[in-house]
Amino acid sequence: MNAVAPLIKLESISKHFGEGSTRVDALRDITLDIEPGSVVGLLGPSGSGKSTLLNAIGCIIEPTAGRMTLDGEVVYDNGWLRSDLRRLRLEKIGFIFQFHNLLPFLSVTDNVALVLQLAGYDDDDAKHRATQLLDYLEVGNRKQAYPANLSGGEAQRVAIARALANKPRIILADEPTAALDSQRAGIVMDLLGKVAKDQSAAILVVTHDEKIFSRFDVMFQLRDGQLSSDAA
């Protein structure tokens, strides 16, 4: 049986800021594989490099060295191999944040459809896809509501729908449950687990939220820019 290829593959990824006496090594030789269908937790104290790593995988900041493969494509090898990183993010990556960042002047459906419209879908197709996703995430009954009228859990589900709009297989989540109570946090994590399995996606979650630790397939710890798997 052939081994499953990882959706996220990092090989000796490093990132430093500054030079000489002001140099800070934010990431040190990070090697990591995340396979389809998995929900992975990334833990670590403030300043350990978690956000830097998430932003490097998300092609928002450029690593200093190493090699990175996303969904089968080598996108970084001691330099970006793509000139249009915005298009790369649209094609391969969905982002979920602690705060939902929904546009307050758009309905729930239009918030999700906007991502597809930016990717070139026509309005009808974008809204149809948005409605399908909202139903899938069990918030279809709120499709005409505006963000101000949603509960925290509902807003986060809409944010997940938006992250899934363009069918990325890589989902990066930064403290997605920090603003939720235990019950709503559990619902959100169960939904992410369902997404990982149903869509063969790889989901990486940065968190300090102990109430969701049991929902991860594996957890990693970052300390001083170095990765270990002894987070438990």
Tell me the pLDDT tens digit for each residue of 25-74.
889 999 999 999 999 999 887 778 888 999 999 999 999 999 999 999 99
Q: Are 26 and 17 in contact (CB under 8 A)?
A: yes
Q: What is the pLDDT at residue 53?
A: 93
What tokens were used for 214? 């049991």
d(CA 63, CA 27) in angstroms, rounded, equals 9
Q: What is the pLDDT at residue 66?
A: 96
Q: Name the pTM for this structure.
A: 0.86
pLDDT band at 1 (very low <50, low <70, confident <90, very high): very low
| Nearest Cα residue to 189 out of 170, 208, 203 | 203
Q: What is the pLDDT at residue 214?
A: 85
Q: Is 231 or 210 the better-scoring residue by pLDDT?
A: 210
Q: What is the pLDDT at residue 40?
A: 93
pLDDT score of 112 more than 60:
yes
Mean pLDDT of 78-92: 89
Which residues lie across from 123 on neighbouring strands? none
Cβ–Cβ contacts within 10 Å for residue 195, how many? 21
Which residues lie across from 136 on neighbouring strands? none
Mean pLDDT of 75-86: 92
Q: Tell me the one-letter amino acid at 89.
A: R
Distance between first and last Cα of the chain: 31
pLDDT band at 3 (very low <50, low <70, confident <90, very high): low
pLDDT score of 105 more than 80:
yes
pLDDT band at 230 (very low <50, low <70, confident <90, very high): low
Residues ≥6 apart with Cβ < 8 Å to 92: 70, 71, 73, 168, 169, 170
Arithmetic mean of pLDDT over the chain:
87
Q: Tell me the one-letter amino acid at 209.
A: D
Q: Are 196 and 202 in contact (CB under 8 A)?
A: yes
E strands of the chain, at which residues? 8-17, 24-34, 38-43, 65-70, 73-77, 93-96, 170-174, 202-206, 218-223, 226-228
Q: What is the pLDDT at residue 172?
A: 94
Cβ–Cβ contacts within 10 Å for residue 213, how many? 14
d(CA 46, CA 211) in angstroms, rounded, equals 19
The side-by-side arrangement of strands in the sheet containing 65-70 is 24-34, 8-17, 65-70, 73-77
Q: Is 229 or 108 the better-scoring residue by pLDDT?
A: 108
Domains and CATH numbers, the chain: 8-18+32-228 (3.40.50.300)
Q: What is the pLDDT at residue 51?
A: 87
d(CA 197, CA 186) in angstroms, rounded, equals 17
Strands 24-34 and 8-17, by their bridges, are: antiparallel
